[in-house]
Amino acid sequence: MLTGKIIGLGSYLPPKILTNDDLSKMVETNDEWITERTGIKQRHIADAVEDKVTTMACKAAKAAVEDAGIDPSEIDLIVAASTTPDVLFPGVACYVQGAIGADGCAAFDVNSACPGFIAAYNTAQGFIETGNAKTVLVLGSECLSNYVDWTDRGTCILFGDGAGAAVLRAEEGLKNSFIMKASMKRGDCLHCESMKQPKRVDEEGFLQSTFMYMNGKEVFRFVVTEIPALVEELSAKYGFSIDEVDHFVFHQANRRIIEATAKKLNVPLEKFPMNIQDTGNTSSASIPILLTQMKKEGKLKKGDKIVMSSFGGGLTWGANYFVY
């Protein structure tokens, strides 16, 4: 069975940093509250001129291609995930194609909010399994700071900007092992209707808000129930033991969510790498940013068994099992 193995990883985090103390000067909050409730100490914020979703994506993509040691002309497909693209079209993947010089390959975007990287990765795996692509670049890039209400302390403390990318190469190996789900029944607790459509607002009651809306408590409750259940379902479906997994590379949304998941799965917290303290929640970019950091720190070894999982607007959630 052909499967896409990660052969290169790269990320980009904008240099500007917003600390909890900085935030306490903007809204009524403090470092102690944010640290205790979320685990976040700081987040990277895109510069309004220098950093765009596309430019961040291109930088992460170039780093991943360099890390893979391939020539961009070898890439057959680019799949980009973004919930916050700079323009309606062309897709972020097309900008990346132009920037890295992979002219002629297929390139398109997916939007699945925070699990966007999982959606992009599994789309790529479908192309690989069917022999339609051998080398694929998948990435997530987000500029959430453009959509956060900086007067709402319930949401603005959580999010950060950045991009992460991975190069997949077809090899003989384990069948791509994943589960993805969505439930619009719970869609009203996390959404962003940033594109104003004045006529439709009048006619169909579309909301006019250009900011992200989140009912944090609802999302929290949903995640700590559904994500452990999903990991158990994944292990039963693909026949691997949760105890044998080396790393649970999870969406970095809240340290307490990760702690609760580890507890429910009865897995030591040390198996859940975290960088949320430095990055905040970077939506679809969070998993590839974390994987890149793990590789740079020598924490990823060939043969390591990994579960990656994410959740977000939709609500959507998903998980993969793979051997690095």
Closest CA to 159 of 140, 146, 176: 146
Given candidates 3, 11, 38, 55, which one binds ligand UT7 under the rule CB under 6 A? Answer: 38
Sheet with 316-323: strands ordered across: 177-182, 316-323, 305-312, 247-250
Is 94 annotated as catalytic?
no
Q: Is 114 an active-site residue? A: yes
- Give CA–CA dist 242/305, Å, rounded: 10
For residue 307, which amino acid is it? V
Give the x-and-dash track for 63-82 against ligand UT7 (CB under 6 A). Answer: --------------------
Q: Does 157 bind ligand UT7 (CB under 6 A)?
A: yes
User: Segment near ligand UT7 (CB under 6 A), from 27-35, 62-70, 197-205, 265-273?
Assistant: 27-35
By CB under 6 A, which span of 72-80, 100-108, 160-168, 216-224 interacts with ligand UT7?
216-224
Which parts of 238-257 interact with ligand UT7 (CB under 6 A)?
Answer: 253-254
> Which residue of this chain has its Cβ atom nearest to ligand UT7 in the complex?
216
Q: Contacts with ligand UT7 in 122-141 (CB under 6 A)?
A: none
Nearer to ligand UT7, 176 or 283 (CB): 283
Q: Is 45 in the site for ligand UT7 (CB under 6 A)?
A: no
The binder of ligand UT7 chosen from 57, 219, 227, 267 (CB under 6 A): 219
Write down the catalytic residue from 114, 143, 156, 192.
Answer: 114
β pairing state of 42-44 and 17-19: antiparallel
Pick the stretch among 30-38, 87-95, 197-205, 224-232 that binds ligand UT7 (CB under 6 A).
30-38
Selected binder of ligand UT7 within 2, 31, 90, 154 (CB under 6 A): 154
Whether 268 contacts 274, CB under 8 Å: no
251 assigned to active site: yes
Dihedral angle of Cα 170, 176, 178, 184, to the nearest 10 degrees? 60
HSE of 233 in the Cβ direction (CA atoms, 13 Å)?
Answer: 15
Backbone conformation region of residue 254, classed left if phi is above 0, alpha if psi is from -120 to 50, else beta: beta
Q: Pick from 312, 314, 316, 322: which binds ligand UT7 (CB under 6 A)?
A: 312
User: Of 7, 16, 31, 37, which lies in the binding site for ligand UT7, with binding defined by CB under 6 A?
Assistant: 37
| Residue-wise DSSP of 193-252 | --S--HHHHHHH------SEEE-HHHHHHHHHHHHHHHHHHHHHHHT--GGG-SEEEE--
Output DSSP code: residue 314. T
Helices and strands (H, E) in the chain, number of each type: 11, 13
| Secondary structure class of 142 (helix, strand, coil) | strand
DSSP letters for 255-289? HHHHHHHHHHHT--GGGS---HHHH-B-GGGHHHH
Applying CB under 6 A, does 290 fall inside the site for ligand UT7?
A: no
List residues near ligand UT7 by CB under 6 A: 29, 33-34, 37-38, 114, 153-154, 157, 214, 216-217, 219-220, 253-254, 281, 312
Residues involved in catalysis: 114, 251, 281
